[in-house]
C-alpha cells in the first residue's frame, strides 16, 4: 500500500520501477491518493505499469478517506513511501496506528514519525531517498524473508502503543502556541 498524492515528490514511479524488478514475487500494490495534482506524472505512472504488464497487480485507486481508507489499510501488510520530500509523514503514523510496518525513504519527518518500538527496533525499514536500488532491496527482503515480515509487524504493533493520541497532540500544540509572543492569532 502507498498512501500519497500521486506526484513526482511522492515517488510513485520509483516504487513502480522497484515492483517491476520484483515481479517474480507474490504481491499486489494499491496506490491511494489524489490524481489531479500532476496529470502528466499520473499518465507516466499508468504508462509504466501498463508497459510492464502489471495493471492487474498495481492499482491507482485515487483518493480515499474515512471508511474506504480504513478498509484499504485493513487489507495492507506494508505501507511503502518512496517520497523525495515529506514534512511529517501522516500516512506513516496512520499505518503504525494499525500495526502496519512501513518501508519508506528517510526524508523530512518520516524517520521521526516511524520512530522505534519500545524495545528499540524499527517498525519497518528506512532507505536513502536517492537510492532506488536500496528501495528494491528492502522490498525484496520484505517479500522473500518471512522472518523480516514477522519482525517488522511485531515492531509496528508495539510502536502503535507509543503513539500519542489526538488529545495529547492537541494539548502539545496548544502549549506551543501559548508560548508564542502574542499567543495564537486569529485570522478573519
Paired residues of 127 in beta bridges = 105
| Residue 185: predicted pLDDT | 66
| Residue 169: predicted pLDDT | 61
For the chain, the domain total comes to 1
- With CA atoms as reference, report the closest residue to 11 among 176, 152, 144, 129: 129
* Residue 99 maps to a domain: yes
Written as tens digits, the pLDDT of the chain (188 aa) is 999 999 999 999 999 999 999 999 999 999 999 999 999 999 999 999 999 999 999 999 999 999 999 999 999 999 999 999 999 889 999 999 999 999 999 999 999 999 999 999 999 999 999 899 999 999 999 999 999 999 999 999 999 988 866 676 666 667 777 787 775 666 66
* Residue 186 maps to a domain: no
* Residue 36 maps to a domain: yes
| Residue 180: predicted pLDDT | 75
* Residue 184 maps to a domain: no
- Side by side, the strands of the sheet bearing 124-127 are 79-81, 102-105, 124-127
Measured CA angle at 111 (ends 62, 92), to 5 deg: 30
Task: State how far the Cα of 63 lies from the Cα of 3, in Å rounded to an integer.
Answer: 9
* Side-chain-side CA neighbours of residue 37 (13 Å): 11
Q: Calculate the alpha carbon distances from 99 to 14, 49, 94 in Å.
A: 25, 29, 9
The CATH number linked to 60 is: 3.40.50.2000
* Residue 133 maps to a domain: yes
* Residue 73 maps to a domain: yes
| Residue 123: predicted pLDDT | 97
* Residue 107 maps to a domain: yes
* Residue 47 maps to a domain: yes
Domain coverage including residue 81? 2-178
Amino acid at each position: 500500500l502507498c498512501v500519497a498524492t500521486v506526484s513526482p515528490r511522492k515517488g510513485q514511479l520509483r516504487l513502480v520501477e522497484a515492483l517491476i524488478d520484483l515481479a517474480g514475487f507474490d504481491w499486489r500494490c494499491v496506490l491511494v491518493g489524489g490524481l489531479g495534482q500532476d496529470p502528466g506524472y499520473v499518465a507516466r505512472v499508468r504508462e509504466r505499469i501498463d508497459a510492464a504488464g502489471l495493471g492487474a497487480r498495481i492499482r491507482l485507486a485515487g483518493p480515499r478517506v474515512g471508511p474506504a481508507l480504513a478498509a484499504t489499510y485493513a487489507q495492507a501488510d506494508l505501507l511503502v513511501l518512496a517520497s523525495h520530500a515529506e514534512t511529517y509523514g501522516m500516512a506513516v503514523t496512520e499505518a503504525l496506528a494499525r500495526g502496519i510496518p512501513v518501508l519508506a525513504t528517510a526524508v523530512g519527518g518520516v524517520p521521526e514519525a516511524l520512530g522505534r518500538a519500545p524495545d528499540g527496533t524499527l517498525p519497518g525499514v528506512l532507505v536513502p531517498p536517492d537510492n532506488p536500488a536500496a528501495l528494491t532491496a528492502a522490498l525484496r527482503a520484505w517479500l522473500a524473508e518471512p522472518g523480516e515480515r514477522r519482525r517488522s509487524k511485531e515492531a509496528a504493533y508495539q510502536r502503535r502503543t507509543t503513539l500519542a493520541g489526538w488529545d495529547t497532540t492537541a494539548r502539545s500544540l496548544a502549549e506551543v502556541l501559548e508560548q508564542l509572543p502574542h499567543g495564537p492569532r486569529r485570522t478573519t
